[in-house]
Amino acid sequence: MQRLVVIGAGPAGLTAAYEATRFGLDAVVLEKSDDVGGLARTADFKGFHFDMGGHRFFTKSGSVEKMWREVLGRKLLRRPRLSRIFYRGRFFQYPLRPGNALRGLGPWRAIAIVASWFKWQLFPYRTEDTFEQWVTNRFGRRLFRTFFQTYTEKVWGVPCSQLKAEWAAQRIKDLSLKTAVSNMFRRRRTTIKTLIEEFDYPVLGPGMMWKAVRDAIVDAGGTVELEREVLRIEHDGRVVSRIVTAHDGRPEEIEGTDFVSSMPITELVAKLDPPPPPGVLDAARALSYRDFLTVCLIVNRADLFPDNWIYVHDPRVKVGRIQNYRNWSPAMVPDPSKTGLGLEYFCTEGDALWRSTDEELVALAIREIAAIGLASAGDVAEGHVVRVPKAYPIYDSNYREHLDVLKTFLAGFANLQTIGRNGLHRYDNQDHAMLTAMLAVRNVALQEKNDVWGVNADPDYQEEVRLETALQRVFAKLDRFGFGVAVGAVAAAVLSLASLFPLIKGDPVMGHELALLAQYLPGYEASAIGMLRGLAYGLVGGFGVGWTFAVIRNAAALFSLAVIRRRVESRLLRRVFDYV
């Protein structure tokens, strides 16, 4: 019997095991920590539930949606989305609204932002290698510095000039200031709500989903082993045979026929036995991650603010985002007179913030929540800290080169696949991670050849891009001069030959009929001179007709493409700051 061994009990790993049991495979999951869910787990502190990152459940994938419904059913709540940006002591509604934005920025700053956008539309960066270049070309330098730079550098811990544009292009595709401003003044339809304006959410947070998936795996005959740290992955160069784990201080061998890993790809490569070539190990060591920690605060006040979360762009505080868990699900806060907050700090494992004691971090969070004005220090009853290592793969200047080395090396294994955010070192959403797992299991169970590495894009966006590309291919731009010359040459040939034809045939009636064209083409007649005149009329007139047609046709094609792109941009506008 085929046995699938899965490393990691996050969304990707648990989805792989869940799907494997549906295909009748024996599945075992090995998880290093004492809980399931990975980054999508839910922490429990004195009955208060805290979501590590804030996980909205929305997807365009029917397979993912079906699994969620199968597992939790009515325990998924439909929740309204509200988020704002805190910058320079003010709150900005998100998406942007004209009155709020103008009051917050002031008219002169707003004018300067628009002027900056015009400047960068006329003189953009010729290449878009970095995040700074990518955003500046679309929004202008001033808006980049106002809203993007501080928050992005908080999240990633590196200057925007060193961060690759690739991850931004993946997460906030094809947006522009023009679209943002037009959406500010566009009447919003209140009768139809998209999955971005609303989202599904488990009653007790995302961990509730993944605990239910774990139970479903066990009920189907699978196994989920916690506190199983992988020590070695034994192989013969092409086939993995077993995994050696540590359990209660003792090594334990886990054998299987197929293996799927959602652990960080850097750790996977380092634990292979025998070890990979030095170049592969060097590439693994060159990849880096961004970690974060959440300071969970219990506040002795109800209804602190209406948002699900707030983006903190203000450089005067270190906190990056603030989650209000009551507004995600009321059941996450057991006492209706209190509020559970999560202050998220982005850091790097081993830096000063990461090494701070829990007491120091709680004190920092209390000071900053008071500085922002959401609650006073005296309102906070208790605090708790949860650290999340390797939360975000970093797209630095050389990451693609190093990742390609690892991808090529791992492709040599016949029974080992990597899945999920960390397994692919790709900044995927939860549903994308699940899709990689589903495809990997189909490769095992049905011998399909799915490209797991290709799952990382919004399906709606891909459909629109394919449509736009098809239109560009079918309605390629006509060269005005070339088309004019072509039409002119054909017209000239027709008129000149027509003037000679009656002479060759000796048909005076036809010549008389052709002479009627002289009413529109002075001097045209069925003669040698008429042939030369017809040649000239055809070249000039045909060129004008062809040139004019090409201009009108190109304008119509451009308008069609603009309409398609506008629909794409409008649909994705809400994702401008949703990239974490």
Q: Is residue 468 part of a domain?
A: no
Where b means 16+ CB within 10 Å and e means fewer, 124-159 reads eeeebebbbbbbbbbbbbbbbbbbbbbbbbbbbbbe
Domains contained in the chain, number: 4
Q: What is the domain range of residue 50?
A: 3-72+205-287+396-455
One domain for residues 26 and 57: yes
Q: Is residue 318 part of a domain?
A: yes
One domain for residues 58 and 139: no
Strand 380-393 vs strand 339-347: parallel, antiparallel, or unpaired? unpaired
User: Whole-model pTM?
Assistant: 0.77
User: CATH code at 8?
Assistant: 3.50.50.60
Q: Is residue 63 part of a domain?
A: yes
Which among 309, 303, 322, 324 has a CA at the least distance from the CA of 371?
322
One domain for residues 323 and 227: no
In the chain, the largest separation of any two C-alpha atoms, in whole Å, equals 111
User: What letter represents residue 564's amino acid?
Assistant: I
Q: Mean pLDDT in runs of 10 for the chain (580 residues)?
A: 95 98 96 94 95 89 94 93 87 71 79 88 86 86 85 87 73 55 53 59 96 97 96 96 92 96 97 97 95 96 93 92 96 95 95 96 97 94 95 88 96 97 91 95 95 70 46 62 79 70 58 57 64 70 82 78 59 46
Helix (H) or strand (E) holding 27: strand 26-30
Outline where 258-417 has alpha helix (H): 265-270, 278-286, 352-355, 358-372, 399-410
Token couple for 327: 């507004």
Q: In what order do the strands lie in the sheet with 309-312?
A: 90-94, 83-87, 309-312, 321-324, 339-347, 289-299, 380-393
Phi, psi of 577 (to 5 degrees): -110, 15
Specify the pLDDT at position 511: 54
Q: What is the DSSP string of 30-95?
A: E-SSSSS-GGG-EEEETTEEEESS---B--S-HHHHHHHHHHHGGGEEEEE--EEEEETTEEEEES
Which of 134, 169, 195 is the last residue in one of the domains?
195
Specify the pLDDT at position 469: 52
One domain for residues 186 and 220: no
One domain for residues 258 and 163: no
One domain for residues 318 and 180: no
Directed axis angle between helix 62-72 and helix 430-445, to 10°? 100
One domain for residues 23 and 162: no
One domain for residues 209 and 191: no
| Entry field: residues in the chain | 580
Token couple for 284: 């693994």
CA pair distance 208, 211, nearest whole angstrom: 5
